[in-house]
A and B are shown apart, each in its own frame.
Chain A
Amino acid sequence: MIETYNILSPSFEREAPRELMLLSIISQSFFQPFSLEDNLLVVLTALTSGSGVGFNRAMLFLKSDDRLRGEMWLGPRSAEEAGLIWEVLSTPGIGYVEILEHNRALVNKNADTLSARLRGLVYPANDPKALIPASVAGRKEILHVREAAQEPRVDRRFLNIIGVDEFLCVPLVAGDDVVGEIILDNAITRTPISPSDIKLAGICGLMAGNYIHSTTLHRRLLNMEKMAAMGEMAMFVTHQLRNPIVAIGGFTDQLLKPDLPEEKRVRNLNIIRDEIRRLEVIIYQMGHFLKVSLKEPVFFDPAPAIAEVLDSPQVQSRAKAYTLDAKVDACPPKILCDPTSFGEVLRNLIDNAFDATPPGGTISVRTYRRSPTAFALSVRDTGRGLTNPAKAHLFQPFFTTKDKGMGLGLPFIKRVMDTCGGSVEVLSRVGRGSVFKLQFISQERESTS
């Protein structure tokens, strides 16, 4: 017999050893789609979740750009507030999600008091003469400070804010680096910090440090990818726009010269008009692709939309030089897609097929029912076909095999198909042609009888 368990369990055993409880809360929260800030709040929560066990208050410093900054301070401001918080936290059945909600509200409530005072604290991160708490960021050791008022190595400004004589400084270690620091104290209960408290805080420091490190790396990576894509796009757009602009400018300069023959004047005006039209197309395509969100997909009858595209003057006029062979289900099931985007997708595929095929070739449009819930549409051409490297980059923005293409048609199609839970695939052989297959989620029509 095999039993399966969910990797996440939102409630936890209150009787469990507190190291285990703490590990459970933190590791489970790192699984959730919480933000970095929320997960750091979870770490502070884990360290302060209970009157008898955890610490009373937790303060978070993070390192960025060689500075150590106070970020967040979690804990009650008074004994009364502490009583209320601990009552909430000991409610039977309460899980870490509820505790997190509660603490988020608490941090917001204290934003103008505790956290605001903390945010004023900024230290250079790598100062060898740094005082506590900044000195902790330079080493990988936990500092337990007692009789702080008599200790010259403690920063007075910090001491005035924290207002306690005993506290713990835990560095957040990630690999060779210290990414931040947590300060813990028992300002309300005045309970002395025990060796087991220190051990517990150390585990938290290690987990939080590695979490911050990996999250920051991931964010940086995403940002780099975004920047690289933006750079590529900017470069491509510059090139696409510059050529028509240079032609318009150059031929206009010629128009301004005296004694230009009438024939040349008309020619130049025609070129200028054509180039302006080209600019319009480029701008339209860019705007179309950059549209932030597509419409919600709905179930609709694709037959009229397919007929509209196939019968459109644009398709019909290009089809004169080709054989356009369409065998389309007259009574197809309803498919899931945004109807407007569906028309654009099909128009794009047919345009691509014409572009890839020399006049005289055949463009075939077919529909198939693959299963009661899957409907497919294919556009086949007898054109030049795609090489394997071209196939690999086909759905990347700005990749194009056309002389004047923008490389935005297929990425748009991919986006539409992803949004409606469908798929797009391509089969192609160099010299033989390509076939693009779209698969949609479908639904049989309701019986009319």
Chain B
Amino acid sequence: MTKRILLVEDEKPLCLLYEEELRGEGYEITAVTDAEAALAALREGSFDLIVTDIRMPGKNGIELITEIMGLRKDIPIIINSAYQSYKEDFMTWAADAYVVKSASLEELKARIKQLLGE
């Protein structure tokens, strides 16, 4: 069965890039650009994994994760951020992996595969 990924990224070009690339890997992607839209998508549908940015207008990625925990606790979450220095903190934020944004999407793809048990 096709795995469903919820992608939260406020930068439109990046959102488009991740959406296309992950779709190319055979996933079904729901791409949103802010935390509120992500929570709405989570209430409506089910997902196998969430990829989220941290710094976003409105609610940031950390606040989003906290709310997601209140909704459904068993979805693996990957933080995909431009901030290298937060990498040590991701465990305390209850995320399952932290990927520093890079022009090569290989690490992100590898982490997704690992967390989806592929």
Contact = CB atoms under 8 A, between A and B. Distances in A.
Interface stretch (B42-50, B70-78, B81-89): B81-89
B103 A253 contact: yes
Interface residues of B, number: 19
A253 B13 CA distance: 14
B83 A251 contact: no
Nearest to A241: B82
Contacts of B103: 245-246, 248-250, 252-253
B14 to A, nearest CB: 5
A254 B20 contact: yes
Contacts of A194: none
A238 B83 contact: yes
B102 interface: yes
A280 interface: no
A176 interface: no
B111 interface: no
Interface string B54-85: 01010000000000000000000000001111
A344 interface: no
A271 B12 CA distance: 10
Q: Chain A contact residues: over half helix, strand or loop, or mixed?
A: helix
A403 B101 contact: no
A238 B21 CA distance: 24
Contacts of B104: 249, 253
A418 to B, nearest CB: 30
Contacts of A320: none
B83 A243 contact: no
A253 B24 CA distance: 13
B17 interface: yes
A159 B82 CA distance: 61
B13 A251 contact: yes
A274 B11 CA distance: 13
Nearest to A240: B82
Given A238-B83, A239-B82, A245-B103, A403 B57 contact: yes
A53 B10 CA distance: 76
A206 B104 CA distance: 62
Contact of A235 (B11, B13, B21, B85): B85
A243 B82 contact: yes
B105 interface: yes
B101 A243 contact: yes
A403 B12 CA distance: 12
A249 B55 CA distance: 21
Interface of B: 10-11, 13-14, 16-17, 20-21, 55, 57, 82-85, 101-105
6 contacts: A238-B82, A246-B102, A247-B11, A250-B105, A251-B17, A252-B103
Interface of A: 235, 238-239, 242-243, 245-254, 271, 274-275, 403
Given A242-B82, A250-B17, 13 more contacts: A235-B85, A238-B84, A239-B82, A245-B103, A246-B82, A247-B13, A247-B17, A250-B105, A251-B13, A254-B20, A254-B21, A271-B16, A274-B13
